[in-house]
Amino acid sequence: MTYDKKWALDWLNDFSDRIIENKQLLSDLDQAIGDGDHGVNMARGMTELKKAFNAKEPETLQAVFKTAAMTILSKVGGASGPLYGSAFLNISKKITGDELTPTELTTALEAGLEGIENRGKSAAGEKTMIDVWEPVTRALRQEDLTHDVIEAALQKTSDMKATKGRASYLGERSVGHLDPGAYSSALLFHAFLDQEAK
């Protein structure tokens, strides 16, 4: 399978729909350990992204991810805008042609993860979206990504103590809650797998 512009548009539109549908849940998760606006912020950004794609369809595969990065950076408030924006910008920088092979896509997603790590000055195990991105990219590299891998990565964030971001102020009280950024990232990769299955 190769990944082209249509695939990228379908994937990110599906991701946008899932974020909008789960807006309240994401904000509820954030209410427990953050400032409660992850769902609202992300849904606003993804609504704007769908509008941007509809107003002027990006001309290339690279432009799809660059449009996503710039829209999210400018429209999503809080920490998630810069983090997702950095991820999609890094992905776009790895794209030079009209399509990606599975190996090239994995390399691009690993660059996306690196963008999040650098922007958030964070690493796996700190109860952030990285705790979904890292196992997902690793599984992709090994060609064994499944919905179960994504879900297991997300559920593991419940047992972690937050040491980064707003949730870190809670210390031990952050244990027992899913990380909202990890949840929205899980939605991203569930949409990715469902796109592959089509």
Residue type, 129: M
| Orientation angle between helical segments 80-93 and 38-55, nearest 10 degrees | 40
| Residue 57 host element (H or E) | none
Residue 73, classified by CB atoms within 10 Å of its CB into exposed (0-12), middle (13-18) or buried (19+), is: middle
Instruction: Decide which of 32 and 93 is more confident.
Output: 93
Residue 166 pLDDT > 80: no
Among 193, 181, 80, smallest CA distance to 129 is for: 181
> For residue range 98-111, what is the model confidence (pLDDT) as tens digits?
999 999 999 999 99
- The helix/strand/coil state of 100 is strand
83 burial type by CB count under 10 A (0-12 exposed, 13-18 middle, 19+ buried): buried
Helix axes 5-21, 61-75, angle to 10 degrees: 30
Confidence check: pLDDT of 12 > 90: yes
For the chain, what's the residue count? 198
Tokens 């912020």 locate to 41
DSSP state of 162: P
List, for residues 16-37, the tens digit of each pLDDT value: 999 999 999 999 999 988 888 9
Report yes or no: 9 and 190 within 8 Å, Cβ to Cβ: no
Confidence (pTM): 0.95
pLDDT band at 9 (very low <50, low <70, confident <90, very high): very high
Average pLDDT over residues 82-103: 97
Q: What pLDDT, on a 0 to 100 scale, did the predictor assign at position 78?
A: 83
Residues with Cβ within 8 Å of residue 40, at least 6 apart in sequence: 23, 27
Q: Where are the alpha helices (DSSP H) in 56-179?
A: 61-75, 80-93, 102-120, 130-141, 147-156
